[in-house]
Amino acid sequence: MTYGKKISTNRTTAYQRNHNVVTVGVIKSGLGPISNVIAVLLIICLLGLLYLTQVTKTNTLGYTINNLTTQQQQLQEQYASLQVQASRQQGLDKVQNSSVATAMQPVAPTATVTN
């Protein structure tokens, strides 16, 4: 029988030097095409959510900056008005208390002009 002879020759060649006797099967452990699509969609959704939070944060800060700028302008106008008011009050006090004003005497009207 030649059948037995082939088996014996295959065994002898299998145990020769630098020949692997045991083969290790590789287990394919990857995601399928549907799982890959779902994973990509999930990542895209997360990136979109991150983008939306950043845009919302930027808009909120923009409104805050706008409100603070308006408040700063109002305070500057109020400050200028208070400076004018203070200079007016200081001017009247200085004129009334000056040496020239204290040396003046009040004059009463002597006559009125009639037509």
Can you give the residue ranges of every domain in the chain? 32-93
Q: How far is the C-alpha of 49 from the C-alpha of 41, rounded, in Å?
A: 12
**pLDDT per position as a tens digit, 54-64:** 999 999 999 99
Find tokens 């099967």 and name the residue: 25
Q: Say if residues 48 and 56 touch (Cβ distance below 8 Å).
A: no
**pLDDT per position as a tens digit, 73-101:** 999 999 999 999 888 877 777 777 777 77
- Residue 106 C-beta-side C-alpha neighbours within 13 Å: 1
**pLDDT per position as a tens digit, 3-31:** 554 555 555 555 666 666 676 777 776 77
